[in-house]
Amino acid sequence: MSGKVSENDMTSVPKTSRVEDAYARLKSQIRSNALPPGFQATEPEIAVRLGMSRTPVREALIRLDAEGLVDLIPRRGVRVLPISPTDMRDIYEILTALEPAAASAVAARRPSEQELAPLELATSRMEAALDAGDLDAWAEHDDAFHNALLDLHGNQRLTAYVASLFDQVHRARIVTLRLRDLPVKSTQEHRELLSHLRSGDSEAARTCFASHRKSTANELLGLLEAFKLSQL
Amino acid sequence: MSGKVSENDMTSVPKTSRVEDAYARLKSQIRSNALPPGFQATEPEIAVRLGMSRTPVREALIRLDAEGLVDLIPRRGVRVLPISPTDMRDIYEILTALEPAAASAVAARRPSEQELAPLELATSRMEAALDAGDLDAWAEHDDAFHNALLDLHGNQRLTAYVASLFDQVHRARIVTLRLRDLPVKSTQEHRELLSHLRSGDSEAARTCFASHRKSTANELLGLLEAFKLSQL
DNA sequence: GCATTAAATAAAGTATACATTAATTCTTGA
DNA sequence: TCAAGAATTAATGTATACTTTATTTAATGC
């Protein structure tokens, strides 16, 4: 009964393995552009950089490679994969097929107001962030909206795959966010989609989301072309 | 100029690494049920089995884990993942969203007869296999049809992902293929889809494929329930 | 001085040794 | 006999040593 777990909470931290640590740090550094697209390094270099041996680094790199974030080049080490307009087109095409299907299914399930709460919250925050002109916050809540919708749908494979696609386009989204007008229309579309989910109109939800995705994709691709951003 | 590459062609074989070898063999054994769902083994056991050290085995297992074919259990080794009806439902839902989108895009592109040749060939072979009652051949050409369509579309991420989903449901497809009536309707639907691709009717192609996928999924799920196959 | 080829270099690929830790088994006491 | 706990076991997680091989550099011959 003297059961004290605390005291040295520092030692009872989640206990992360080196592989997990390497994976998380590398992924985060890629997302934040600390390791920019095209960056190339050898395994020993990365191992030193992360303060561990090659073994866990290799295992983390294999995972990042499988997720399409880096390329393992036979005798040259790793390269952080740049995203080309073609990549963007391909990825958004997949998102345009998957997310509307999820939205449609969620609407058909007639979700309760409680289930929709995370979506409502995310939408409100997007609106607030937009008013405040805080683009980073807006992007964060946009992410939250899409994740909440997928969670609600409950197809874990779909959720995981969409998440990995979002990871791949993250850098490009961040860059282009500042090259375009404020995402007023996009925010409105989220509000509209939410109303379709509420009313249980599955076809309207699908259509609404599909057109949202298509316009997002077109806008993005237009910017990449306009600014000659052939590599991100 | 004396440059001869041949002579010892035996030495210039693809030259496969141990990791690749382990990956391919394990995957093949999982597909063929040599390693049945639920099969569990430790890394050293698998290493002995494959005649190599743990290192390449681990790396191959990480890839198989990322693809959803095995589960790496903290201290228990690997387990070949069984497919449950829920998994099947989730996977077919994704396929139902992705493949019709690809079919629609291909139709819109008005493919040439030459481009459609692999699809025509696969369909003919499915019809022949059906007449001959050769279910294995039928399944093989069914696969070929779907792969050819995705290749034609050209979205490599989409192609790769669909392929990995097919890998996951492969065992279940093989089993259920023999529990149901001959796939007459399914074969006809392929022929029908092909005609829509030929005529460039993208909406018809999408609808046709979507209903094909849905009926396939329903049939499959029905069989799993009817035969109480809660794990494959 | 250039091209061809050989040697050196360094990275990935692989094996193995070691550390850590969860599970199991054995022991001990009630 | 059963329960609690300690010791053992064995598997993963990690580091390191070694092997193979592509690339680069150096050397040699024309």
Residues with CB under 7 A from strand D: A 17-19, 52-56, 59, 74-75; B 15, 42-44, 54-55, 58, 72, 74-78
Cα of B131 to nearest chain A Cα, Å: 35
The answer for residues whose C-beta is within 8 angstroms of residue B28's C-beta and 6 or more apart is B34
Residue of A nearest to B59 (CA): A59
Residues of chain A contacting residue B97, judged by C-beta atoms under 8 Å apart: 97-98, 101
Question: Once rounded to an integer, what is the mean pLDDT over residues B185-206?
Answer: 94
* A and B: number of Cβ contacts within 8 A: 58
Q: Which of B131, B87, B134, B106 is nearest to B194 (CA)?
A: B106
Single-letter amino acid code for the residue at A165: L
Asked if the model's pLDDT at residue A225 lies above 90, the reply is: no
Predicted confidence (pLDDT) at residue A8 exceeds the cutoff of 70: no
Q: How far is it, in rounded angstroms, from Cα A216 to Cα A229? A: 17
In whole angstroms, what is the distance from residue A145 CA to residue A152 CA? 11
- Please say whether the beta carbons of B212 and B193 come within 8 A: yes
Query: Higher pLDDT residue, B231 or B47?
Result: B47
In angstroms, the CA A19 to CA A63 distance is 10
With CB atoms and an 8 Å threshold, state whether A90 touches B66.
Answer: no
- Contact yes or no for B155 and A101 at CB 8 A: no
Confidence of residue B14 (pLDDT cuts 50, 70, 90): low
For residue A14, what pLDDT is reported? 52
Mean pLDDT of B5-24: 64
Largest CA distance in chain B: 69
| Closest to B209 measured CA to CA, from B88, B85, B107 | B107
Answer yes or no: are the C-beta atoms of A94 and B165 closer than 8 Å: no
pLDDT band for position A227 (cuts 50, 70, 90): confident
pLDDT above 50: residue B131: yes
CB contact under 8 A, B97 and A97: yes
- pLDDT tens column, A167-220: 999 999 999 999 988 999 999 999 999 999 999 999 999 999 999 999 999 999
Q: Which residues of B touch A (CB under 8 A)?
A: 58-59, 62-63, 66-68, 87, 90-91, 93-94, 96-98, 101, 105, 155-158, 161, 165
Q: What is the pLDDT of residues A67-92, one digit of tens each?
A: 999 999 988 889 999 999 999 999 99
Q: Express each pLDDT in A101-137 by its tens digit.
A: 999 999 999 999 999 999 999 999 999 999 999 999 9
pLDDT over 50 (residue B94)? yes
Q: The pTM is what?
A: 0.89
Amino acid at A159: T
Which residue is nearest nucleotide C21, judged by alpha carbon to C1' distance?
B75
The Å distance, CA of B52 to C1' of D8, is: 28
How many whole angstroms separate alpha carbon B32 and alpha carbon A52?
39
DSSP helix/strand/coil, A210: helix
Nucleotides of D under 7 A from a protein CB: 10-17, 21-23
